[in-house]
Structure 1
Amino acid sequence: MIRVLVADDEELVRSGLRLILEAAGDIAVIAEARDGAEAVSAAARLRPEVVLMDVRMPGTDGLTAAARLLAAPSPPKVVMLTTFDLDEYVHEALRLGAVGFLLKDTPPRELAAAVRTVAAGQAMLAPSVTRRLLASYAGRAPSRAESARRRLAALTDREEDVIRALARGLSNAEIGRELRLTEATVKAHVSRVLAKLGLANRVQAAILVHDAELG
Structure 2
Amino acid sequence: MHILIIDDHDFVCAGLKATLMERFDDAQISIANNGSNALDILRKGSINLVISDLFMPGSSGGFSFIDLICKNHPKVPLIVLSASENPSHIRKCVAIGAMGFVTKSAPKRSLFSAIDKALSGEIYMPESLIQPMPGLTRIMSEVDQGSEAISGLLTERQLDILARISKGLSNKLIARELDLSENTIKVHVSAILRALGLNNRTQAGLMGQKLASTLASESADNDD
- In the aligned structure 2, how far is the partner of 1:114 from the partner of 1:77? 11
Over the residues paired in the alignment, what is the CA RMSD in angstroms?
2.1
- Other-structure match for 1:99: 99
- In the aligned structure 2, how far is the partner of 1:5 from the partner of 1:25? 13
- Other-structure match for 2:67: 67
CA contact (8 A) 1:22 1:29 kept: no
Cα deviation, residue 6, structure 1:
0.6
- Could you tell me the percent identity over the aligned residues? 23
- In the aligned structure 1, how far is the partner of 2:132 from the partner of 2:42? 30
Amino acid at match of 2:128: S
Cα deviation, residue 106, structure 1:
2.0
Amino acid at match of 2:50: V
CA contact (8 A) 1:8 1:53 kept: yes
The number of residue pairs the alignment matches comes to 132
- In the aligned structure 1, how far is the partner of 2:73 from the partner of 2:55? 25
Q: Structure 1: which 4+ aligned runs deviate by more than 6 Å?
A: none
- Structure showing greater radius of gyration is 2
- In the aligned structure 2, how far is the partner of 1:73 from the partner of 1:99? 13
Cα deviation, residue 16, structure 1:
0.5
Q: Are 2:24 and 1:25 equivalent residues in the alignment?
A: yes
Cα deviation, residue 132, structure 1:
5.5
Q: Are 2:48 and 1:34 equivalent residues in the alignment?
A: no
Task: Evaluate the alpha carbon distance shift between residue 36 and residue 63 of structure 1 in structure 2; reply closer, same or farther with a 3 A threshold.
Answer: farther
Q: Which runs of 5+ in 2 are unaligned?
A: 134-224
- Other-structure match for 1:88: 88
Amino acid at match of 2:94: L
- Other-structure match for 1:5: 4
- In the aligned structure 1, how far is the partner of 2:85 from the partner of 2:123? 17
- In the aligned structure 2, how far is the partner of 1:89 from the partner of 1:113? 20
Question: Equivalent residue of 2:30, what SS?
Answer: strand
- Other-structure match for 1:76: 76
Task: Evaluate the alpha carbon distance shift between residue 73 and residue 10 of structure 1 in structure 2; reply closer, same or farther with a 3 A threshold.
Answer: closer
